[in-house]
Amino acid sequence: MIGDGETLLPADITDIVCGLIEEGHYVTVITNGTITERIKEIVERLKARALVSHLEFSLSLHYLELKRLGLLLTFAENVRYLKENQVSVRLNFILGPSVLDLADEVKAYCGESLGMKTSVGIARKDVNGANELLADCPEEEYFRIGDGFESYHFEQQKQSYLQRCRRPEEKKFCYAGEWSFCLDLTAGLYTQCTGINRVAYHFFERLDEPLRLDAVGKTCKAPYCACGFAECHNLIPEGCGYGRENDPLNEELRWITDEMRSAKFADLSLTNEEYTEEEKGRCNLANMEYEYKKGISEIVAVEFGEGNYERVIELAEAFLEGELDAKEIHVLDVVLKYGYALLRTGRCEQALCLASCYDDLNYNADYCLMMGLVYMQNGQLEDAIRLLGEAPAKYSCMEKGTNGFLPYYNLGVIYECAGQTEQAIMYYKKCGDYGKAKERLTAIGQNEKG
């Protein structure tokens, strides 16, 4: 579990973490280690159910920020609390350019205040597909400083970095996406792994149907395993160094319980079937086809952003004639851009053809909003009210407001034009601080006074 920001800030994170564990899962929470109240809230709830053995806190040691904000003691106290309650805990420290001069200070803090060793990660960046160190010193000096931490993890990452220039023919078949995947709980999107920008499908759509799982295969463009799961879970059985980090000599895992460690480093090749050579070939081809279609959708998005609606319509119509999987997120995106391009070029009646996508795309608020506007422009107000009314109930959305103030505002417009002022006011008020809705409420108030 990792948040877009500090993981433990959302109020419902306790229910999510504990709910997963109470169902039998093992959970690692990645956090900055300073949200004391939330840490204790999670631990105490799981202690009452004798389930703390299924929990790990992976603490990101942001040393400079902790020092600047006076939180070094708070961090240390939280580490002590987790240890005392037999909760698995691990430290993670990124050796970035701003902390190179503080290496000895950080080591002393870990040993004296925390009583544990930290895993050290290499600070690096991708530049035109090449992996480079993010440091203001020569490579040799950087590795000398990193070696001083005696971090098992750092040594493994260093070897990975030094061997980073992989040629395509050297890449092995990776089962990320088939044996594991990454889920975005906010929008229900799930991807093959954290290191691949392939937003493929919607997890919460049609829960009675099987998940769509596609292995990465040999199509990963990363110069190294960005997510690190390949080595943790043996996602590349042909040889990815599985088991190295879980070496008994790795002191950084000292405070992780045996039960948690067995889950954290489970060999997924033992519980999943590998593909045949023919299946691997089909998988790699499917991934390449996906990337091609995704590329078309990205071109459509660029043309739409520049207002080239005729070009959008041309590209979208050619795209939608092909064999498509409606679950793929880029298909939805092209449908939306196509619909709005038709509306903005005055082809409102033609846009009604997108009603045929309802069964496949009605799980998404953006689609419901777009079709509501299409029906509005065609004077089909009952259908418009129905689709706009569905949008706020949808969990899946791509643009801000599509499952909130935007459908409410348009419902307000419909009812205001129909002379049903009370209904219009109700929907405008649902829009919160949306400027256009506030303007309509002001106008209605002025008209009523007049």
* pLDDT tens digits, one per residue of 418-439: 999 999 999 999 999 999 999 9
Tell me, which fold does domain 278-403 have in CATH? 1.25.40
Q: Concatenated DSSP letters for 326-360?
A: TTSHHHHHHHHHHHHHHHHTT-HHHHGGGGGGHHH
Q: Cα–Cα distance between 91 and 32 in angstroms, integer?
A: 10
pLDDT for the residue 132: 72
Q: Cα–Cα distance between 52 and 42 in angstroms, integer?
A: 9
Q: What's the CA angle centered on 116, arms 112 and 121, to 5 degrees?
A: 115
pLDDT for the residue 240: 74
Banded model confidence at residue 448, pLDDT cuts 50, 70, 90: low
8 A C-beta contact, residue 54 and residue 29: no
Cα 430 off chain centre by: 29
pLDDT for the residue 440: 93
Q: In angstroms, what CA-CA distances link 245 with 127, 193, 264, 290, 357?
A: 27, 19, 11, 33, 48
Percent of the chain with pLDDT over 90: 67
For residue 160, pLDDT over 80 is answered with no
Q: Cα–Cα distance between 82 and 166 in angstroms, integer?
A: 40
pLDDT for the residue 429: 95
pLDDT for the residue 258: 92
* Higher pLDDT among residues 372 and 220, named by residue: 372
Strands (E) located in 82-198: 88-95, 119-122, 124-127, 130-133, 182-184, 189-191
Q: What is the model's pTM?
A: 0.81
Banded model confidence at residue 75, pLDDT cuts 50, 70, 90: very high
- Closest C-alpha to 390, from 375, 404, 376: 404
26-35, 204-213, 325-334, 369-378: least confidently modelled range:
204-213
Mean pLDDT on 39-46: 97
Residue ranges, comma separated, of all CATH 1.25.40.10 domains in the chain are 278-403
77-81, 284-288, 444-448: least confidently modelled range:
444-448
